[in-house]
Amino acid sequence: MQLSETDQQLAATIQTSRYIAAASVLAVLWAVESVAPMFIGRSRRVTHGLANLALAAINAALAFGCAFGILFVTEYSRVHELGLLHRVDLPIWAKWVIALVVFDGWQYWWHRLNHRLPLLWRFHAVHHSDAEMDATSAVRFHTVEIAFSFAARMLVLPVLGMTIPQVLLYEAITLPIIMFHHSNIRMPGKLDRALRLFIVTPWMHWVHHSRWQPETDSNYSSGLSVWDRVFGSFRLREKPETIDLGLDEWNEKEWRGLWGMWRKPFGTLAKREADNETDHGDES
């Protein structure tokens, strides 16, 4: 399977823009974190950031290989008109909007599933183990989790009927948002409140990275914040600076580096206390 010349050019343009936007946003957020952090007293910002980025580099190599599988299934769906968006008669712009919104909804449920299934949580815990969360934490994912994610996408994308340019545009839009809501920046509560009417914000996502499981199991949205409100998983902390980030079973220094992050899930399964609380807190 091969993209048409038009789609190839469009995909290349979006991909280039994606890299530039991600690098620019990361640089800006890193600078702001340096002068206006919410969580203070961090002494290993450079080594912490480098470890996260090194893990992301390893995952990028895997993503390059998996891209061929994504290309095959999406093009097969398009050529044979198997996916939902290939079978409905709508303007092109409407199909693009639907693709981005519906896929963001899928990301919400995939994230939620990573918290529910022990096998998936074993590797997703690497992301949650970051007790010094900042913008680089947005790309801190175990390689096996990335592999699971690509496998799931190969099933979902052709069913939705999404194209490669649409997938790339979704990632180009959401990656800066994800970096933003993982960042350690102090911002006015009113500004955060206004932004989270539309997108996931730091005040919202810090709660998701809390050590307290009822908070960990909330705020699963990636791009649009609406999904947590619709599906009852929205939660806030009145004073976000009081949130204790990370996971209790990852406190040892040996799990902080690249090698520690990579090998920990293959040892004892990351334990989580059984907690069936359904209270999702008050929205503000």
The predicted model scores a pTM of 0.91
Q: For the segment 84-128, what is each residue's pLDDT rounded down to a tens digit?
A: 999 999 999 999 999 999 999 999 999 999 999 999 999 999 999
pLDDT confidence tier of residue 272, bands split at 50, 70 and 90: very low
Q: Where are the domains of the chain?
A: 5-187
Handedness of CA 251, 254, 257, 260 (dihedral sign): negative
**Helices 92-116 and 118-128, packing angle to 10 deg:** 100
Contact 33, 183 (CB under 8 A): yes
Average pLDDT over every residue of 130-159:
97
Q: For the segment 172-191, what is each residue's pLDDT rounded down to a tens digit?
A: 999 999 999 999 999 999 99
Asked whether residue 233 carries a pLDDT value surpassing 90, the answer given is yes
The C-alpha angle with vertex 90 and arms to 89 and 92, in degrees rounded to 5, equals: 125
